């Protein structure tokens, strides 16, 4: 028996939610992931509600997008706080006020400290296959530029539990996409975002269904449908080359 197998597991959600899971969405940019969540909810594919969006930049496009959706949006800028601790406490205080179940980082660029009552209740999506092309300085197009410069043949996205380091917590799901010979950072970004549009909502669904168990740095997925089997999100395997409708390259 391996050391990982002998460790006790943690079930962040012991029983499936009997109501829509309440998401807090943290953004720093245009809010495209937020828009995907809203589309999934409206289509009945994601049983969730979004009572709060927090933006780290007052001038980012996601602020207007959230308000156009009729969602409360608060701007909390890192530069307004003396420490990351004070910055983080303000964010999580707002989340507590509206009874957020799960904090979703959606292109949120500032490092936060996760308090004990939100441990295993914060998830992030990264536009590469962790542990490659991740960590401080790897965000947005910088990731795709690095992938192309290195000559990687595949890229993708990773959804993981967030801890107090960049792109570091236990991995929930990954989806791979091909890197084409004529790719630019824009075209690769579009293909990766298409994978995110399926993988992130599916990870949230599995969380809300109580199917995730954390054992050390690994996440076990319980239930009939295993990632990559009967799953349109290709969580654990398969290469998807599609681009979401309306996403320009």
Q: Using CA atoms, how far apart are residues 136 and 128, in angstroms rounded to an integer?
A: 13
Number of alpha helices (DSSP H) and beta strands (DSSP E) in the chain: 6, 9
Is the distance from CB of 181 to CB of 187 less than 8 angstroms? no
Is the distance from CB of 176 to CB of 191 less than 8 angstroms? no
Catalytic residue among 99, 120, 126, 222: 126
Pairing of strands 21-27, 102-105: parallel
User: Cα separations (Å) of 186 from 24, 47, 130?
Assistant: 28, 31, 20
Residue 141 is among the residues annotated as catalytic for this protein: no
Closest CA to 202 of 234, 239, 176: 234
Q: Cβ atoms within 10 A of the Cβ of 241, count?
A: 10
Vertex 75: Cα angle to 73 and 80 (nearest 5): 165
Pairing of strands 171-178, 212-215: unpaired
Residues assigned a catalytic role: 126
């Amino acid at each position: 028996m391996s050391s990982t197998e002998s460790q006790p597991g943690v079930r962040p959600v012991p029983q499936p939610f009997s109501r829509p899971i309440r998401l807090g969405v943290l953004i720093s940019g245009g809010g495209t992931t937020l828009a995907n969540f809203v589309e999934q909810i409206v289509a009945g594919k994601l049983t969730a509600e979004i009572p709060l969006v927090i933006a780290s930049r007052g001038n980012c496009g996601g602020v207007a997008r959230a308000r156009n959706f009729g969602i409360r949006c608060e701007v909390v800028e890192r530069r307004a706080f003396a420490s990351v601790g004070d910055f983080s406490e303000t964010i999580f205080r707002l989340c507590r006020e509206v009874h957020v179940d799960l904090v979703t980082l959606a292109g949120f660029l500032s490092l936060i400290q996760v308090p004990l009552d939100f441990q295993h209740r914060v998830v992030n999506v990264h536009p590469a296959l962790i542990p490659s092309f991740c960590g401080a300085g790897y965000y947005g197009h910088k990731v795709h530029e690095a992938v192309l410069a290195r000559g990687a043949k595949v890229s993708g996205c990773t959804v993981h539990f967030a801890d107090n380091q960049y792109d570091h917590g236990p991995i929930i799901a990954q989806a791979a996409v091909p890197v084409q010979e004529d790719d630019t950072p824009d075209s690769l970004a579009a293909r990766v975002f298409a994978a995110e549009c399926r993988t992130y909502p599916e990870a949230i669904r599995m969380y809300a269904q109580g199917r995730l168990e954390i054992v050390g740095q690994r996440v076990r997925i319980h239930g009939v449908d295993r990632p990559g089997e009967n799953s349109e999100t290709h969580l654990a395997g398969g290469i998807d080359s599609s681009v979401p409708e309306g996403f320009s390259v």
